[in-house]
Amino acid sequence: MRVPSSAVAAVLAAIAACASSPEGDPDDLEVVPPGKADNYYSNVAAELEVSGTIPVTLTAEEYADEVIRGDRVSRRLTAVGLYLTTFLTDKFRGIDINGDGEITEDEVFFRNESYGGFHAMVRNYSVEALEVIGDATQGYSVRFTIDVAGPRDFLSKLVGVEGQTFDLQMPLGATIDPANVPRGEIRKFDPSTYQGEIETVRCEVRPLPVPANAYPHYADFVADGVYDITLLYGHDYNKARSDLRESREAWDTLEELGFNMPAPSFEDLGATSGPAVLEARAGGRDVRMEVRIFNSEMFVGDRQKQHDLALEELTTRDVFFYNGHAGPYFGFYLDAERVATVNYWELAEAPFTGKQQLAIAQGCQTYSQYADMLYASPEKSEDDLDVITTVNFSYGRGTMGIVRNLIRVDAQRNHQPVDFYRIVSDLNYEWLNSYRSVFYGVMGVDGNPQLHPYASAASIGQECAAPSDCGDPSGNVCLAEESGPKRCGAVALAETACPAGSRYRLTAAGGTIQGGACLPGE
């Protein structure tokens, strides 16, 4: 079955000036007259829906048996997703894991570097069997759809400027058990060197809509007075050990931001040290920000504890951030011996509750199925979980950039909520302008709040002298339209967020658009 993808993976970036410009003084805001603002957002990646029809080997008796028919279709479509991944994904020779200056035979990742390659990724668990058609005489076929994502020019490179179809090649009659995927074998596939028979699947492709901007569920995160984030660093098998470097950077950054650290030094930090803590305010209430850091060196001699703790942190924290090696049909790689590894199916079986959460899967190609395995939990859906993933390869950087955005506070330690467009654009910013190959996106954003989480909608229209007269100063504005006294408004991302009796207007400071707000009036 297909996991609904109404909230498609949107990788959206503000233009460079917006991503790096200051927020502006809220007392200097002014209303922008209608029709005077340009569209400041653009995609750095696009999500597409691929559809096609592929034969399925079935007798009339097997077709009539729902279990057998479903199994045969599942195996065929698993093959489609994986061979499509092989075609679309970026490829490289290998990695110098031991740091000796060359890529030896045991360090080779791909043997088909010239095949396909669109900096793209397949969302494997989005595949849907629309219908099985045919009969025992003519043979049976299944019509399917599956989602893929890649850079903005992905569609034109795949099918041409005016094209709508492309051909996928795979071994004739290929089937793959979704519970036993030979990843290494499939990622080396190249139809030009394959010795067996090949089948060609004609695929149609169309772009999927982009969801509107929204906020993470900050109000839910802080509702209990504790806003907790876990940074889980997977084991890096490369000599450079980016996991230790990144977890050390996390420690240094939190210390720089004024957090009370849970140990005398990074070297003293252990699995039971507890969180770094910052006492802050959110929406006019006290909130305790807690950030926990874990890496593989903390669990030497007790890998089962590491495995179990990973699942506990995943299911209980407001924000869970995995930073490590990943890929299609993979989970969390936590130790060199793979004793602590969290397999991908364990993500669906983890003991979640219905609390609002944000999960970040920073690793290679986590768009493939990480979000969908989490959504496969009976307790999780796009209603209570947002997931940030990578379309292509990831290089372990950007961890603290997103953490800084999630825990941003002003000089008085008031939490400053950052919206998803900004969060994702900041993740993408460095790579968009250098390697042009790492694309972050967010799933589950449809239905998220577009009204500032700490805004006081009840104060809209009240006379004021400053935003603080209206409620939380980060969630409210105080300004005048053309003439008349200053009145309260509520910060919002879109017109649809505005309550009855108010209207959405863009706001600016110094001639620069700062955002929008719900102001009094119809």
What's the average model confidence in pLDDT over 140-159?
91
Q: Is 52 exposed, middle or buried (0-12, 13-18, 19+ CB in 10 A)?
A: buried
Q: Is the pTM of this model over 0.75?
A: yes
From 30-34, 335-339, 464-468, 508-512, the region with the lowest mean pLDDT: 30-34
Token match 């997931």: residue?
387
Residue 160 Rama label (left phi>0; alpha psi -120 to 50; beta): left
Distance separating alpha carbons of residues 5 and 205, to the nearest angstrom: 16
Per-residue confidence (pLDDT) for residue 183, from 0 to 100: 78
What is the DSSP secondary-structure string of 291-307?
EEEE-GGGGTT-HHHHH
Q: What is the rounded average pLDDT for all residues in the chain?
A: 86
- Closest Cα partner for 478 from 21, 19, 27? 27
Residue 413 or 15, more confident: 413
Residue 58 or 392, more confident: 58
pLDDT category of residue 436 using cuts at 50, 70 and 90: low
pLDDT category of residue 44 using cuts at 50, 70 and 90: low
Residue 249 or 398, more confident: 249
Percent of the chain as helix, strand, coil, to the nearest 5: 25, 30, 45
What's the average model confidence in pLDDT over 405-428?
93
Per-residue confidence (pLDDT) for residue 427, from 0 to 100: 84
DSSP reduced 3-state for 204: strand
- Closest Cα partner for 460 from 503, 520, 377? 520
Per-residue confidence (pLDDT) for residue 179, from 0 to 100: 85
Token match 């005077």: residue?
36
Per-residue confidence (pLDDT) for residue 15, from 0 to 100: 22
Query: How much of the chain exceeds pLDDT 90, in percent?
Result: 62
Per-residue confidence (pLDDT) for residue 187, from 0 to 100: 83
Distance separating alpha carbons of residues 317 and 310, to the nearest angstrom: 11
- Digit-coded pLDDT (tens) for 228-248: 999 999 998 888 888 999 999
Kind and range of the H or E element at 69? helix 66-88
Distance separating alpha carbons of residues 199 and 214, to the nearest angstrom: 43
Is residue 173's pLDDT more than 90? yes
pLDDT category of residue 34 using cuts at 50, 70 and 90: very low
- Digit-coded pLDDT (tens) for 200-237: 999 999 988 888 899 999 999 999 999 999 999 999 88
Distance separating alpha carbons of residues 335 and 325, to the nearest angstrom: 11
- Closest Cα partner for 314 from 368, 341, 353? 353
- Digit-coded pLDDT (tens) for 310-325: 999 999 999 999 998 8
Per-residue confidence (pLDDT) for residue 36, from 0 to 100: 33
pLDDT category of residue 11 using cuts at 50, 70 and 90: very low
Distance separating alpha carbons of residues 347 and 269, to the nearest angstrom: 27
CB 348 within 8 A of CB 376: yes
pLDDT category of residue 8 using cuts at 50, 70 and 90: very low
Q: What are phi and psi of 36, to 5 degrees?
A: -110, 10
b/e map of 18-38 (b: 16 or more CB within 10 Å)? bbeeeebebeebbbbeeeeee
Distance separating alpha carbons of residues 58 and 36, to the nearest angstrom: 61
CB 442 within 8 A of CB 428: no
For 415, residues 6+ apart whose C-beta sits below 8 A from its C-beta are: 218, 222, 227, 280, 281, 282, 283, 287, 289, 407, 408, 409, 454, 474
Q: How far is the first Cα of the chain from the last one, in angstroms, to the nearest whole number? A: 44
Query: How much of the chain exceeds pLDDT 70, in percent?
Result: 87
Per-residue confidence (pLDDT) for residue 26, from 0 to 100: 44
Structure tokens, 298: 């903390």
pLDDT category of residue 4 using cuts at 50, 70 and 90: very low
Distance separating alpha carbons of residues 296 and 233, to the nearest angstrom: 7
Distance separating alpha carbons of residues 7 and 331, to the nearest angstrom: 22
Is residue 182's pLDDT more than 90? no
Token match 């720089």: residue?
256
Is residue 302's pLDDT more than 90? yes
Domains and CATH numbers, the chain: 47-207 (no CATH), 211-443 (3.40.50), 457-520 (no CATH)
Per-residue confidence (pLDDT) for residue 440, from 0 to 100: 87
Is residue 38's pLDDT more than 90? no
Per-residue confidence (pLDDT) for residue 426, from 0 to 100: 87
- Digit-coded pLDDT (tens) for 326-352: 888 889 999 999 999 999 999 999 999
Per-residue confidence (pLDDT) for residue 196, from 0 to 100: 95
Residue 1 or 302, more confident: 302
Residue 361 or 105, more confident: 361
